[in-house]
Structure 1
Amino acid sequence: MVSANNPQSNVPKDPPLPPSTHDEQLGKAKRLGIAVMDRLARALHALGRWWTSVIVALLGFGSSSKLRIGRWFRKVHRLVDPASNTTVPERVFTVRRGLIVAFTSLVLLAIIGVGVWGAWGLIRTASQAATAARVSRALPESSASQSGASSSDAKHRDGDGSSSASKGEANADASAQNSDAAASDDVPANVLNGDERSALFAQAQQTAQQSGKAQAQYAYCVSTTGDVGDTAGFEDMIFRTLNNPKGWPRAGATFTLADQSAGQACDMTITLAQAQYMTTFSDGCSDEYSCRVGNDVIINADRWNGATPSWIQGGGTLGRYRELVINHEVGHRLGHIDNETPCAGPGNPAPVMLQQSMGLDGCTPNEWPLDSELWMS
């Protein structure tokens, strides 16, 4: 009620100001936000009901089920279904439903991940077991434990390559025959004495002189990297192989062990290296294969002790493989490259610079340079 004694009560009030453009935009934004949230809530509501119905259908929990887990799941379903309890605001059901959907999804993803991881582990274990079985059938017992199902030197342009062995039980008989051949290989039992070395070197010099090619004498050093055991046999096989009249002396080359105590330089260093140290010589070397880097000729101890399955299955022996890997890698030092001469045809001896450990291409195993390979750069 307006008092007559109040002079301000009769003063007319100003009309309200029209809303500004800013206020109109703010009101529209609020209405739009409310509409979006409402639609999002409805979408989550529908998604939750669909997800719970799918789970119920997949697990087979019917309304008449007497299983305890079925009753528990129906309770959860009622918690997220507004129709079953109208006393709780729908917003609460939406939040509940979203949490249950997220939790259930994470559980399912975890179960799937564990299943995939377990299956992959079983497959890898089975594959490793099968590989070990193939290698043990293809190689002699004394070297099978040191051999990997691998190729030789495929990753380095100067490498001696090889691939893995026989496939399946159908080749069991052939693998057994190859194991017998490898077990009777021609690895020398004793090292050469001084007189025998002198006689062999004299024969190599005579072969080089009669070759009609320019002669060159190389001084080599022998070293080891890692734990490779006794190297007397390694040093002996190097001298035997490099000065064999069937080898590089036919190209005019002879080889002597450098006298480092007298300060003689090494034209090349031939190293027997534990597999794990192969990559220390070059990134191009592999811990499974042999390789050559500059004046370094590096023989992988795994290959030295076990050859490769494909070489053994092709009719080679461990002793012959050692001659092959020495001649092949030293051949790189003399200027040759991998696969410079292809196989001449089935049944022909393979070129020594062919990556025979990767495959013979129809040729037969051969550890000595062919006539076409008798040159040095």
Structure 2
Amino acid sequence: MLVAVLVPTALICIAVAAAPLWTDGDDLSAATAAPGSAGAVKDPPASASASGPGSKAGASTGPKARAKPSTKAKPSTRSNSDSGGHPVIPPSGPGTFTVARAGATNTGKGNAYRVEVEDGSGVDPDAAAAQIAGFLAAPRGWAHGGEHAFHQVAAGSAGLVVRIATAATTDRICGSSGLDTHGEVNCRVGVNVMVNLKRWQTGSPEFDGPLADYRALIINHEVGHWLGHGHETCPGNGRPAPAMMQQIYGLKGCVANPWPYDTKGNYLSGPSVP
């Protein structure tokens, strides 16, 4: 996965802190990974990965650890709904985050990542983490054939942090690294993937596919960058769009697709985008 305007625009590249910025589908991204494996990105100090890039600007405080699992029923995975059943999405929040508990299927092996959800967003951190874990472990995802492994952590250092936050908090944290998300889009800054709450709850008006697929595309696109993959474009009419394609800008004849691999285990590639 990984456009700072509502109307899709052409790819822009500018320099911030000597790192190139990409418009990634429905987000902005400050790339730090060199081509290759996840080993190209080193785990930051625990304090850095916990607070995120916005901490210096006061945009966010460190995340709270989850309490021990309770026998009580978990809260709803949806935001509060209006009379029409549509989720009510708060435009801003406190800038504090709750860390999802480590998943029950955690193997303890592979690349460590953490999931954090802004307090008051209406999203259950554990439910969101379970869905993200499913994307990462899917046969058509980056774990395909055991090529990559991921394990969720709830404490300590993590080389990848997925944070679901309100538009205002996303803007503050992304803005601290020079990215303008206009209250609408996601961003990636170093190890942090900031997912705009609106995008997580409603998808993208430009993505041709169901909400679950769009969420998968966010994660797969951004983790793809983290693993060293650059942007790709449509390989031909009627073929699946690569997960590393900026599908938010149009499919260019391809079919919407959130997965890096097809059902036979073939990588769904396309021509590289400079």
> CA 1:308/1:230 → structure 2, altered by over 3 Å: closer, same or farther?
closer
Please name the residue that 1:225 is paired with. Answer: 118
**1:90-148 per-position Cα deviation (integer Å, ceiling 9, x unaligned):** xxxxxxxxxxxxxxxxxxxxxxxxxxxxxxxxxxxxxxxxxxxxxxxxxxxxxxxxxx9
CA distance in 1, matches of 2:268, 2:238: 17
Q: Does 1:159 align with 2:50?
A: no
Look up the match of 1:235: 129
Distance in 1 of aligned mates of 2:7 and 2:268: 29
* Structural mapping, 1:62-211, within 5 Å: 157=22, 159-161=24-26, 194=104, 197=105
| 1:344 maps to amino acid | P
Can you list the C-alpha shifts for 1:336-374, whole angstroms capped at 9, x where unaligned?
23xx3220111100010111112111111101114155x
The Cα of 1:254 is off from its aligned counterpart by 1.2
Cα distance, 1:152 vs structure 2: 10
Of residues 186, 191, 213, the one that matches 1:295 is 191
Partner of 1:257: 152
Determine the C-alpha separation between the residues in 1 that align with 2:8 and 2:115: 25
Q: Is 1:310 paired with 2:225?
A: no
Alignment identity in percent?
31
* RCO comparison, higher one (Cα < 8 Å, 6+): 2
Q: Detail structure 1 runs of 4+ shifted over 4 Å in the superposition.
A: 148-156
* Partner-residue secondary structure (3-state), 1:222: strand
CA distance 1:247–1:372, change in 2 (3 Å):
same
Larger CA Rg, structure 1 vs 2 = 1
In 2, Cα distance between equivalents of 1:245 and 1:235 = 18
- What residue number does 2:253 align with? 362
Offset of 1:160 from its aligned partner? 2.4
Q: Which of 229, 232, 239 is the matching residue for 1:348?
A: 239
**AA of the residue aligned to 1:281:** I
Q: Please say if residues 154 and 161 of structure 1, whose CA atoms lie closer than 8 Å, have aligned partners that are also in contact.
A: no
What CA distance in whole angstroms lies between the structure 2 residues aligned with 1:244 and 1:319?
Answer: 13
TM-score by length of 1: 0.41
Amino acid at match of 1:256: H
AA matched with 2:224: G
Q: Deviation of residue 223 (structure 1)?
A: 1.2
**Corresponding residue of 1:277:** 169
Deviations 1:193-220 (A, max 9, x none): 83xx36xx69xx9xxxxxxxxxxx2111
Taking structure 2 as the reference length, the TM-score comes to 0.56
Q: Structure 1: how far apart are the matches of 2:118 and 2:185?
A: 14
Which sections of structure 1, spanning at least 5 residues, go unmatched? 1-147, 163-182, 184-192, 206-216
Preserved CA contact (<8 Å) 2:26 2:204: no
Would you tell me which structure has more strand in proportion to its own residues? 2
Contact 1:150 1:308 survives alignment (8 Å): no
Letter in 1 for 2:185: Y
Following superposition, the deviation at residue 158 of structure 1 comes to: 5.3
Partner SS state of residue 169, structure 2: helix
Counterpart residue type for residue 266 of structure 1: A
Higher helix share: 1
Superposed CA RMSD in Å reads 3.2
Change (3 A) 1:347 1:157: same
Kept after mapping to 2: 8 A contact 1:158/1:329: no
Summarize the Cα distance change of 1:160–1:285 in structure 2 as closer, same or farther, 3 Å threshold: farther
Unaligned runs of 5+ residues in structure 2 are: 13-20, 28-85, 87-102, 262-266, 270-274
Distance 1:333 1:158, change over 3 A: farther
